[in-house]
């Protein structure tokens, strides 16, 4: 049972994974513990970034376009549909104490209007393409365009939903729509499709082939702006990736179903690193993360756990916290005084264990400030860790 906003509860239970999906397969290679919690829909302990939430809005609009729900609509009508989806997303964010201060999204994302216009333009193009590829007389029974296509291997070991499958004279084309950047730096300074996106598409190809007996002729990543980009693949590579993903899933489940203590299971499943943990929504409750961070390095997130020494209201109305972290004393200035922004700070008293996440440097080794993603928890656990200066 929840004890209320701002209070850190025990780590979520570990539940065995079902059929492995392409997105989960990629996640398992980065940190199996995070992926297990994600698959079981464990509550997030840190805010969802506005960009990620807006990406969900854009993907929903593209999905509706591909399904033919926006066929025949003008750009103004599609824009109105965008507004409806956005409003629901912001209402959802407003119900969370972690996210409500980040809405409206237009105020949290500098290029909000640009992203909106790009999503509407791509949705309009998809709606037109969906109309052209319907079967004779508008029948979907013979459509050459399908979206959100459920696929699964015959043995049920892997499953997922493909964004779009387009039938061509040469064979099926599998498409994956992305609302954000699709490239990363490759060899010799060249840009290439992000590795995670390529692996996901190759896994979809293998699952699709296992289910239908037909291999796709092309795999495409479709950005909001620009033409679709092909991902080279071989059947052998796709089959190997799928076999590796299922085997990895089985290894994870054996750990979860073992009789080992939960702390040992978490340690076996976790792969803490600066890049993996920086955007993990579960790290406040992840003991392997806290045990792994190295003092006096500049690559880990700026998080701290310590004992509250004092909280003081400044002349500006903002708050100043003084924390004892091991043998050091740190100060966190400029905190919002709103109880809804930092319920843990509002509820804590001197002597309480307080955990702070996503701090910003305040100009010195012991001085810090809050940022839009800063979160505090009253931490019932009695361990603490040195602050990681950035």
Whole-number average pLDDT of the chain: 91
217 in the same domain as 107: no
Strand order in the sheet with 218-222: 145-152, 159-167, 172-177, 218-222, 229-230
Share of the chain above pLDDT 90, in %: 77
Same domain, 305 and 335: yes
Residue of 293 and 249 predicted with greater confidence = 249
pLDDT given for residue 326 in this prediction = 82
Could you tell me if 354 and 363 are in contact, meaning their C-beta atoms sit under 8 angstroms apart? no
> Do β-strands 353-357 and 375-378 pair in parallel, antiparallel, or remain unpaired?
antiparallel
For residue 326, tell me if it sits in a domain. Answer: yes
Helix, strand or coil, per DSSP, at residue 149: strand
The yes-or-no verdict on residue 285 having pLDDT over 60 is yes
Q: DSSP string spanning 260-291? A: S-HHHHHHHH----HHHHTT-TTGGG-HHHHH
How far apart CA 157 and CA 242 sit, in angstroms, is: 10
**Strands (DSSP E) found in the chain:** 145-152, 159-167, 172-177, 183-185, 191-193, 218-222, 229-230, 304-313, 319-325, 328-335, 353-357, 360-364, 367-369, 375-378
Structure confidence by residue, pLDDT tens digits, 51-102: 999 999 999 999 999 888 998 899 999 999 999 999 999 999 999 999 999 9
Answer whether residue 7 is part of any domain.
Answer: no
Higher pLDDT pick, 189 / 177:
177
Mean pLDDT of 297-302: 83
Position 31 scores a pLDDT of 97
Domain co-membership, 61 together with 155: no
**Structural domain of residue 342, as residue ranges?**
296-378
Do 76 and 93 have their domain in common?
Answer: yes
Q: 265 and 165, same structural domain?
A: yes
CA 97 – CA 280 distance, rounded (Å): 18
CATH code, domain carrying 353? 2.40.50.140
Q: Are 355 and 305 in contact (CB under 8 A)?
A: yes
Peptide bond into 314 cis (omega under 30): no
Q: How many angstroms separate the CA atoms of 304 and 230, rounded?
A: 44
**3 domain residue, yes or no:** no
CB 211 within 8 A of CB 157: no
Q: Is residue 76 part of a domain?
A: yes
C-beta of residue 89 within 8 angstroms of C-beta of residue 353: no
> Are 145 and 216 within one domain?
yes
What the block records as the tokens of 232 is: 């080279």
Nearest CA-CA partner of 123 in 167, 62, 38: 62
pLDDT-derived band at 180 (thresholds 50, 70, 90) equals confident
DSSP symbols for 64-102 = HHHTTTTTT--HHHHHHHHHHHHHHHHHHHHT-TTTGGG
Mean per-residue pLDDT, 14-38: 96
- Say if residue 182's pLDDT is above 70: yes
pLDDT: is 147 or 244 the higher one?
Answer: 244
DSSP 134: S
Q: Which residues, listed in sequence order, are joined to residue 220 by a DSSP beta bridge?
A: 175, 230
* 127 in the same domain as 76: yes
What's the pLDDT tens digit per position in 354-369? 999 999 999 888 999 9
Domain C-terminal end among 132, 156, 178 = 132
Residue 187 — very low, low, confident or very high, per pLDDT cuts 50/70/90? confident
Domain end residue (candidates: 292, 307, 327):
292
For residues 128 and 90, membership in a common domain is answered with yes
For residues 237-262, average pLDDT: 97
Q: What is the pLDDT of residue 189?
A: 72
DSSP state of 107: G
Between 129 and 59, the more confident residue is 59
- Look at residue 387 in the predicted model and tell me its pLDDT: 43
pLDDT digits (tens, 9 = 90+) for 130-145: 777 654 444 444 457 7
Q: Is the predicted pLDDT of residue 389 greater than 60, yes or no?
A: no
Residue written as tokens 């570990």?
Answer: 14
Report the distance separating Cα 205 and Cα 171, nearest Å.
12
pTM of the model: 0.90
CB 374 within 8 A of CB 360: yes
Q: Greater confidence, 110 or 327?
A: 110
Closest CA to 78 of 90, 89, 62: 62
What is the arithmetic mean of pLDDT over 179-203?
A: 90
5 domain residue, yes or no: no
Q: How confident is the model at residue 19 (pLDDT cuts 50, 70, 90)?
A: very high
User: Does residue 206 share a domain with residue 179?
Assistant: yes
Residue with tokens 């409750």: 285
State residue 364's pLDDT score.
Answer: 82
Domain count, the chain: 3
pLDDT for 265 beyond 90: yes
User: What dihedral do alpha carbons 309, 305, 42, 278 form, nearest 10°?
Assistant: 130
pLDDT at residue 283 above 90?
A: yes
Question: Mean of the pLDDT values across residues 248-276?
Answer: 96
| Residue where a domain terminates, one of 292, 318, 345 | 292
With a cut of 90, say whether residue 165 has pLDDT above it. yes
61 and 206 both lie in a single domain: no
Classify residue 223: in a domain, yes or no. Answer: yes
Instruction: Average the pLDDT over 285-296 and give the result.
Output: 84
pLDDT at 48: 96
Same structural domain, 122 and 243: no
What distance in Å separates the CA atoms of residue 203 and residue 26, rounded to the nearest whole number? 10
Clarify whether residues 168 and 260 are in a common domain.
Answer: yes
| Range in 14-28, 182-196, 225-239 with the lowest mean pLDDT | 182-196
Asked if residue 10 belongs to a domain, the reply is no
Q: Evaluate whether residue 363 is within a structural domain.
A: yes
Percentage above 70 pLDDT, the chain: 93
Nearest partner of 359 among 379, 342, 376, 343, judged by Cα: 376
**Under a CB-based contact definition with an 8 Å cutoff, are residues 243 and 158 in contact?**
no
What CATH number is attached to the domain comprising 165? 3.90.320
C-alpha–C-alpha distance, residues 272 and 299, integer Å: 12
């Amino acid at each position: 049972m929840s004890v209320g906003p701002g209070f850190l509860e025990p780590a979520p239970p570990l539940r065995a994974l079902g059929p492995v999906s392409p997105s989960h397969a990629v996640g398992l290679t980065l940190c199996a513990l995070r992926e297990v919690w994600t698959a079981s829909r464990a509550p997030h302990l840190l805010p969802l970034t506005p960009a990620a939430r807006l990406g969900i809005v854009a993907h929903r609009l593209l999905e509706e376009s591909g399904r033919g729900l926006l066929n025949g609509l003008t750009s103004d009508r599609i824009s109105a549909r965008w507004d409806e989806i956005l409003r629901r997303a912001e209402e959802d964010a407003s119900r969370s104490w972690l996210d409500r201060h980040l809405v409206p999204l237009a105020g949290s994302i500098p290029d909000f209007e640009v992203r909106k216009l790009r999503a509407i333009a791509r949705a309009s193009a998809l709606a037109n393409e969906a109309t052209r590829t319907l079967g004779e007389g508008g029948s979907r029974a013979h459509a050459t365009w399908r979206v959100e296509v459920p696929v699964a291997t015959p043995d049920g070991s892997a499953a997922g939903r493909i964004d779009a499958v387009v039938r061509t004279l040469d064979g099926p084309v599998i498409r994956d729509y992305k609302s954000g950047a699709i490239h990363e730096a490759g060899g010799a300074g060249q840009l290439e499709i992000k590795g995670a996106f390529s692996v996901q598409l190759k896994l979809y190809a293998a699952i699709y082939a296992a289910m239908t007996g037909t291999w796709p002729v092309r795999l495409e990543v479709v950005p909001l702006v620009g033409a679709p980009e092909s991902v080279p693949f071989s059947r052998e590579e796709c089959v190997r990736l799928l076999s590796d993903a299922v085997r990895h899933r089985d290894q994870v489940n054996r750990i979860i179903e073992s009789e080992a203590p939960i702390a040992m299971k978490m340690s076996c499943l976790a792969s803490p690193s600066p890049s993996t943990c920086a955007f993990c929504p579960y790290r406040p409750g992840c003991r392997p993360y806290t045990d792994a961070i190295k003092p006096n390095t500049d690559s880990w997130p700026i998080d701290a756990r310590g004992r509250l020494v004092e909280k003081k209201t400044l002349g500006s109305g903002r708050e100043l916290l003084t924390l004892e972290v091991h043998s050091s004393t740190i100060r966190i200035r400029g905190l919002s005084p709103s109880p809804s922004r930092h319920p843990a700070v509002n509820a804590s008293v001197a002597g309480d264990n307080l955990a702070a996440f996503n701090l910003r440097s305040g100009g010195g080794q012991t001085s810090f400030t809050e940022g839009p993603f800063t979160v505090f928890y009253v931490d019932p656990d009695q361990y603490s860790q040195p602050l990681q200066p950035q």
